[in-house]
Amino acid sequence: MARINDVIPAGLTAEEWDAAYRRVWAYLTALGVRHEFQLHLLVQQVMERCAVRLSAGPAQHAVQVATDETERLVLDWFQAVLGIAPSDVAAIGDPAQLSLRGRLAMLLADMPAPEHNGIFLSDPPWPEAFVRLVRASYVEAVPALRLGQVTSPPLALGLVPQLADRALRTMDRLRWLRVLLLWGLFAAFFGFVFWLTR
Amino acid sequence: MAHDPPTSQPPGNGPAAKGNGASRTAARRAAFLCVFLFVWGGGTLLFADFLWRTGLYGLKYGILALQALLFALIAFVFCTVLFGFLAIRLGRSAPEKPVGPSLATSSPLAPTAVVFPIHDEDVAGVLARVEAIWRSLQRTGLENGFHIFLLSDSLEPARWIEEEIVWFHVARRLRAVGHVHYRHRPVNTGMKAGNLTDFLEHWGRAYRYMIVLDADSLMSGGRMVELVRRMEEHPEIGILQTVPGAIRARSVYARAQQFVIRLYGPLVTAGMDFWQAGDAFYFGHNAIVRVQPFMAHCRLPRLPWREPLGGQIFSHDFVEAALMRRAGWEVRVARELDGSYEETPANMVESLRRHRRWCQGSLQHFWLLFSRELPLVSRTHFLLGILTYISSPLWLLFLIFSTLVVVQFKNAGLTFVATSGFTPLANFSLAAHGALLYGLCLLLLFTPRALSLADLLCNPMRRHLFRGGVRTTASVVLGSLFSVLEAPLFMLWHSFFVMAMLFGKGVAWGVQNRAQDQSLAWQAAARSHGWMTLIGVAWTALALAVDPHFGYSMLPVLAPLILSIPLNVFFSSVPVGDRLRRAGLLQTPEETNPPQEIRDFEAAEKRIRGRLDRINGNAFLQAIVEPYVNALHGELQRQPYATDEYRRPPVDERLVRQLLREGSGALSRAQLFDLLLDGAACRKAYLQLWRTPDAELAPEWCAAIAAYAPNRQPALLRED
């Protein structure tokens, strides 16, 4: 068995390499790769690519490089399964957008459902039914818009609300008047109670 | 079936109730008014005479005025139930244009949207209802005519993500992704009414009908189909309201409410229906609405002045019904239709939160009382709503004045001398007069319950569903006792709400706690009702000091105030509620014989809660760390709806870095919300998170990533 230090690219500590390894493992698990042997193979593949990139000198953290390599592996697979031509990939521009589209297609095709397990991130050829399903899937959270307006003819509230509105707005403007009226009301109420209790 | 072309004008000429129908309705209203005036006038006269016999002066005028107002409300309820009882027993409950059973037909239905406006609600509960409704619709075989919309106004980031996760899970599970829709509105303009308006302005034209449900509503598919068919058969109806039965109550308070609604509801509704005819009320949920006239006539006006007394309308339903009536469309109640349900608040504190909103909404309707453009019956509804809340401070004032009269009398040191009454023929003694008044009040207060019970006892099927006559009678007695104990508490609370509103203290559109399995803790009860205990103790001490007899006579009102804290704990008790259920007390037909929809709902709710339990920590984190949740959320932000005026500028990348470095707790709720609104930022955050070493991540992210160990995959979206 090879010594650990033989596997780790020069300039990296075992902890850094281990962190990258665990991150790739977690990411592939999060994506839904369930079979452990497949996970091992994929992680190994990614880590080999990672080692090649880092052998030139660790310009980036191993976790970053390892995740980028994993994402590249995943994007390449999405592109192939979804049948997106390289020119269209360039048109999409943002790799995050392709990643989202791919994940969404997998989700809608119920990936990785048990019957599809093992297909995800595997080499072609893939079952035709699976490819059809993945390419046809889309989310329709809402139906097509049918724009319109909710309206109502103006409603005349009558004279009392009009006058009350004007009076209340006047009181809003003239705070002293409001305070005066409030105290006046209090005084009137207690005066009334006093009168009643005589 | 002939489908009328969609139109915003009612069929025929103007208001639908015309000709023979109108005269019948007028006769019914006249009959109701006569009986009401007789009961009200008789009772008030009797009381006035009682006061006159001991000297009518000062404070007693105030008492008489208050009594006259309050007695009007009691008399109105009494007459409503009396007419409801007679209408049901004499088989004349149906108005002149019966909204009777529709033709059984399997023809396709007009396109109908079933809408759930939600605002930070319990996600499992809402989606379980969606699932139960869809399954019920599937059983009718006519589900293709319906689209269910979850119209989310949720502001809590974690809740928003939970909604997306569970919506996708349920829609996929039901194979109804094109039929069960989810829309999140980032700005809550106009509250619930604004949410519905927003829906109508985006998709309303695609549907002829809209069935409006609340977050706690449930309706059987068969009833939905029935509602659509009735609307097709009665093109003059703009809104058809069902009478929802209360379900799933567990605490003592909720069970009592549930029982009251289920037992007394039919008589009250029949009584209202007797004189309302096509001018009925609209609760704002569990009803079907004809979309086009609603869109053409029901935009809510802005009230004069400002909130809370004016400005934006808080309680939209009664106003929408009035606007529909103004345009000539009927608003009716399909009271004989079962299969429509809602839930009641679990305890008094939750109930009071709801009442405070209703109080604000009802008092705002004051401005509409003077509009001659609105039908008189609609304005009567507004007035009844206002009186429901205003009556509490009036009762309080009545009791205060009564206390003052006794104090005044005692201080004066006069001897009690009664003159003869206004009816020399009867020649009552003062004691007999008082007993007669007391008896009349009791009669009016308890006759509705007695009539409801009598109606039940006359109907063997209903009697069986309520677990028999003996248990129902015992339940009525128990429910009445609870009402007597609750009434003074509600009186003080409503008085507080009214005064707070008059002094400009309104309430916000808050989140409701609809959980049915939580008892109220002693501390919470003490916090909310401690002040009431103090008032009760002080008032009782005063009353007893002035006159022990008067003090004892006030005990039915004052004792519940003194005991308000233990009463609240008792009423909210789930174990006691469960024991009552096991004893067959306060039992409702839905408990005796649970419909399939309720069983489906409960199974779905349990399953969905299990799925939500899989969420590792805050659901917001899943939108960033979980590849498929992130993809789904990102995609939902790209939906056509999200491209309109609700769009916001992209979030600053520094915010994403801060989120990853310091964790979600370092960002405000508004910042998290803005981040979720920006689909591109969420995608970037996702990639950035997975590329960042643990040392540079907040502990919550490290924990979220570490959760993806082999065989521990939190399959939030995928089927097991």
pLDDT band, residue B2 (cuts 50/70/90): very low
> What is the tens place of the pLDDT at every residue in B338-348?
999 999 999 99
Taking the alpha carbons at both ends of chain B, their separation in whole angstroms is 45
pLDDT band, residue B4 (cuts 50/70/90): very low
**Who contacts B27 (Cβ-Cβ below 8 Å, separation ≥6)?**
none
Chain A: give the shortest CA distance to residue B58, in Å. 4
Residue B694 pLDDT: 95
Angle at B173 between CA B171 and CA B175, to 5 degrees: 65
> What is the tens place of the pLDDT at every residue in B307-329?
899 999 999 999 999 999 999 99
Contact between residue B30 and residue B83 where contact means Cβ atoms under 8 Å apart: no
Burial track B59-98 (b if 16+ CB lie within 10 A, e otherwise):
bbebbbebbbbbbbbbbbbbbbbbbbbbbbbeeebbbebe
- DSSP annotation of A8 reads S
Q: Average of pLDDT values for B244-264?
A: 96
Decide if A96 and B635 are in contact by the 8 Å CB cutoff: no
Residue B409 pLDDT: 84
For residue B99, the tally of other CB atoms under 10 A from its CB is: 23
Contact between residue B204 and residue B151 where contact means Cβ atoms under 8 Å apart: no
Task: Indicate whether B620 pLDDT > 90.
Answer: yes
Chain A: give the shortest CA distance to residue B452, in Å. 39
Contact between residue A111 and residue A32 where contact means Cβ atoms under 8 Å apart: yes
| Most confident segment among A44-58, A92-106, A128-142 | A44-58
Q: Can you tell me which residue has the tokens 């299969």? A: B339
Decide if A139 and B635 are in contact by the 8 Å CB cutoff: yes
Interchain contact B684–A (C-beta under 8 A) = yes
Residue B1 pLDDT: 37
**Who contacts B422 (Cβ-Cβ below 8 Å, separation ≥6)?**
B45, B49, B52
Decide if B408 and A197 are in contact by the 8 Å CB cutoff: yes
Q: Cα(A30)–Cα(B625) distance, rounded to whole angstroms?
A: 9
Quick one: how far is CA B479 from the chain centroid? 20
Q: Which of residues 187-206 of B touch A (CB under 8 A)?
A: 197, 200-206
Q: Which tokens hold the place of B211?
A: 């069935």
Lowest model confidence (mean pLDDT) among A7-11, B96-100, B446-450, B535-539: B96-100
Contact between residue B392 and residue B70 where contact means Cβ atoms under 8 Å apart: no
**φ and ψ at residue B206, rounded to 5 degrees:** -85, -5
Lowest model confidence (mean pLDDT) among B178-187, B249-258, B376-385: B178-187
Interface test with B, best of A22, A98, A196, A198 (most B CBs within 10 A): A196
Q: Is A128 exposed, middle or buried (0-12, 13-18, 19+ CB in 10 A)?
A: exposed
Q: Which of residues 265-304 of B touch A (CB under 8 A)?
A: 294-301, 303-304
Among chain A residues, CA nearest to B717: A107
Residue B5 pLDDT: 45
Decide if A150 and B691 are in contact by the 8 Å CB cutoff: no
Amino acid at B153: D
Alpha helices in B458-595 (DSSP H): 460-465, 469-502, 522-546, 548-562, 564-571, 574-582, 589-592
Task: Indicate whether B232 pLDDT > 70.
Answer: yes
Q: Cα(B153)–Cα(B148) distance, rounded to whole angstroms?
A: 16
Sign for the pseudo-dihedral over CA of B80, B84, B90, B92: positive
Decide if B626 and A159 are in contact by the 8 Å CB cutoff: no
Chain B: give the shortest CA distance to residue A123, in Å. 21
Burial track B141-173 (b if 16+ CB lie within 10 A, e otherwise):
ebbebbbbbbbbbbbbbbbbbbbbbbbbbbbbe
Residue B112 pLDDT: 98
Q: Which tokens hold the place of B53?
A: 């016999």
Decide if B683 and A97 are in contact by the 8 Å CB cutoff: yes
Taking the alpha carbons at both ends of chain A, their separation in whole angstroms is 108
Residue B642 pLDDT: 61
Q: Cα(A168)–Cα(A166) distance, rounded to whole angstroms?
A: 6
pLDDT band, residue A84 (cuts 50/70/90): confident
Q: Average of pLDDT values for A16-21?
A: 93
Containing H/E element for B580?
Answer: helix B574-582
Contact between residue B190 and residue A133 where contact means Cβ atoms under 8 Å apart: no
| Beta pairing, strands B330-334 & B237-242 | parallel
Q: Cα(B167)–Cα(B162) distance, rounded to whole angstroms?
A: 8
Lowest model confidence (mean pLDDT) among A94-98, A144-148, A149-153, B495-499: A94-98
> What is the tens place of the pLDDT at every residue in B193-209?
999 999 999 999 999 99
Mean pLDDT of chain B: 90
> Between A and B, how many CB-CB pairs are < 8 A?
206
> What is the tens place of the pLDDT at every residue in A20-47?
999 999 999 999 888 888 899 999 999 9
Query: Residue A164 pairs with which residues in a beta bridge?
Result: none
If DSSP codes are grouped into helix, strand and coil, which group holds residue B718? Answer: coil
Strand stretches in A55-159, DSSP E? none
Q: Cα(B176)–Cα(A141) distance, rounded to whole angstroms?
A: 11
Best CA proximity match to B704, nearest among B599, B624, B638: B624
If DSSP codes are grouped into helix, strand and coil, which group holds residue B112? Answer: strand
The full DSSP string for B326-344 is HTT-EEEEETT---EEE--
Q: Which tokens hold the place of B634?
A: 């990102």
Residue B15 pLDDT: 46
Contact between residue B548 and residue B434 where contact means Cβ atoms under 8 Å apart: no
Decide if B692 and A144 are in contact by the 8 Å CB cutoff: no
Residue B12 pLDDT: 58
Q: Can you tell me which residue has the tokens 């521990």? A: B712
Contact between residue B514 and residue B125 where contact means Cβ atoms under 8 Å apart: yes
Containing H/E element for B212?
Answer: strand B209-212
For residue B580, the tally of other CB atoms under 10 A from its CB is: 21
> What is the tens place of the pLDDT at every residue in B398-418?
999 999 888 888 888 777 777
| Most confident segment among A26-40, A174-188, B27-41, B399-413 | B27-41
Quick one: how far is CA B339 from the chain centroid? 17
Amino acid at A4: I
pLDDT band, residue B593 (cuts 50/70/90): very high
Decide if B631 and A107 are in contact by the 8 Å CB cutoff: yes
Q: Which tokens hold the place of B643?
A: 């491209």
Q: Which tokens hold the place of B450?
A: 């007695």
> What is the tens place of the pLDDT at every residue in B47-105?
999 998 888 888 899 999 999 999 999 999 999 999 999 999 987 554 444 455 554 55
Residue B500 pLDDT: 93
**Who contacts B508 (Cβ-Cβ below 8 Å, separation ≥6)?**
none
Q: Cα(B374)–Cα(B319) distance, rounded to whole angstroms?
A: 9
Angle at B257 between CA B256 and CA B261, to 5 degrees: 120
Contact between residue B66 and residue B491 where contact means Cβ atoms under 8 Å apart: no
Domain locations along chain B: 617-706
Of A30, A146, A195, the CB nearest to B204: A146
Decide if B683 and A71 are in contact by the 8 Å CB cutoff: no
| Beta pairing, strands B245-246 & B340-342 | parallel
Of A110, A158, A196, the CB nearest to B59: A196
**φ and ψ at residue B216, rounded to 5 degrees:** -105, 15
- DSSP annotation of B303 reads B
Q: Which tokens hold the place of B692?
A: 């960042």
Contact between residue B238 and residue B282 where contact means Cβ atoms under 8 Å apart: no
The full DSSP string for B79-94 is HHHHHHHHHHHTT--S
Lowest model confidence (mean pLDDT) among A96-100, B124-128, B288-292, B594-598: A96-100
**Who contacts B10 (Cβ-Cβ below 8 Å, separation ≥6)?**
B16, B235, B236, B238, B293, B327, B328, B329, B330
Q: Is B670 exposed, middle or buried (0-12, 13-18, 19+ CB in 10 A)?
A: exposed
Task: Indicate whether B720 pLDDT > 90.
Answer: no
Domain locations along chain A: 4-136, 159-196
Interchain contact B363–A (C-beta under 8 A) = no
- DSSP annotation of B239 reads E
Give B184-187's long-range contacts (Cβ < 8 A, gap of 24+): B184/B152, B184/B154, B184/B160, B184/B636, B185/B151, B185/B152, B185/B153, B185/B646, B186/B646, B186/B648, B186/B673, B186/B677, B187/B646
Among chain A residues, CA nearest to B323: A152
Contact between residue B493 and residue B567 where contact means Cβ atoms under 8 Å apart: no
Containing H/E element for B118?
Answer: strand B112-118
Contact between residue B165 and residue B622 where contact means Cβ atoms under 8 Å apart: yes
Decide if B628 and A150 are in contact by the 8 Å CB cutoff: no
Q: Average of pLDDT values for B658-670?
A: 96
Decide if B201 and A148 are in contact by the 8 Å CB cutoff: yes
| Beta pairing, strands B209-212 & B287-290 | antiparallel
